[in-house]
Amino acid sequence: MSAPMRIAVAGAGLIGRRHIELIEASQGCVLAGIADPSPAAVDYAGAHNVHCYADHRALLAQEKPDGLIIASPNALHLQMALDCAEAGVPALIEKPVTDTVAAAQRLCVAVKRTGVPMLVGHHRRHNPIIKAARETVATGKLGQLTAVVGLWLLKKPDDYFEVAWRYQQGGGPLLINLIHDIDNLRFVCGEITEVQALTSNMVRGFAVEDTAALLLRFANGALGTVTVSDATPAPWSWELTAGENAIYPRQDQPCYVFAGTSGSLSVPTMELWSYPQSPGWHAPLSRNPVALAGYDPLVEQLRHFLAVIAGREQPLISVEDAMATLAVVEAVSEAARTGQKISPGHIMEQAA
């Protein structure tokens, strides 16, 4: 049996510590070290019997890990990933892949030049719920996809905003939260070719939005709406409906609806609606559950990362793929600012 891979983590905040827990619980890898300049990270690393480095480059040079998980603030993702590429160390980069599309394009160039594999941590693609939704659409069980509805409605507590970056530009729900949902919709339904959007900061008056309404056009012709607000008590969000994270009280409600000419699917309640006989609004509908596998998507993501490092699997979401998700979010912001229809492809052309 081969020796466990040595995986290091850059960033020992909440997300980084969750990755560390998963590494320590895995039989396929061990924790190689932590990179984080904070005093709290030094104490945390000591408790886990590994060295803590103030600079990720020192960690790469001294520990020579088999892989690095980048769980640092968004603005640091690019440089850390570039340094991994130059050092020949595969990386798992937390979402968003970088803070801008232009930065992601720089990283794409480095990955192609060096050939160092990189996986982006849109971990919900590993969730059996999203995988089953994608399969349901791809296999034609809904017929031709016509309409998509997405909801992300919940209330962040006041103390959430005691951290300054959360009420400054780039810290709002579009980039921090909606990017997950945009990636889910791209993964299930295909590419988004055009967006329109309105945003509001009426509730809190911060520099960032607290509410947004989106119109989406997909390459397959389907249309979608997404409504976002982090200022309202409501059960309709992935966090509260998917049961993915135990810190959120789970609600038996959908947050997505995928509608087609032969049927409709609610997610994550995973109910498939269709006409068992002749179709028409007077006919009775049938409601059938979609079977799901049972596993933790973060555990599966780590397993996949180890397989990517070993060359057994290709990244489920590459830097280029994740850049397309980020381009949709930037298109949403641009559409809200200008009042125009914006193409994510145009965003990428502008950034080139």
- Give per-residue pLDDT as tens, 177-217: 999 999 999 999 999 999 999 999 999 999 999 999 999 99
**d(Cα 17, Cα 14) in Å, to the nearest integer?**
5
Same fold flag, 5-123+297-318 and 125-295+329-337 = no
Write out the chain's pLDDT in tens, 352 residues: 689 999 999 999 999 999 999 999 999 999 999 999 999 999 999 999 999 999 999 999 999 999 999 999 999 999 999 999 999 999 999 999 999 999 999 999 999 999 999 999 999 999 999 999 999 999 999 999 999 999 999 999 999 999 888 888 878 899 889 999 999 999 999 999 999 999 999 999 999 999 999 999 999 999 999 999 999 999 999 999 999 988 999 999 999 999 999 999 999 999 999 999 888 899 999 999 999 988 899 999 999 999 999 999 999 999 999 999 999 999 999 999 999 999 999 999 998 8
pTM for this predicted structure: 0.94
CB 101 within 8 A of CB 349: no
Domain boundaries, the chain: 5-123+297-318, 125-295+329-337
Q: CATH 3.30.470.10: does it fit domain 125-295+329-337?
A: no
Please give the Cα distance from 184 to 125 (Å, whole number): 7
Q: Which residues of 185-198 are buried (b: 16+ CB within 10 A; e: fewer)?
A: bbbbbbebbbbbbe
Which CATH entry fits the domain spanning 5-123+297-318: 3.40.50.970, 3.40.50.10140, 3.40.50.2300, 3.40.50.720? 3.40.50.720
Query: Cβ distance 238 to 181 under 8 Å?
Result: yes
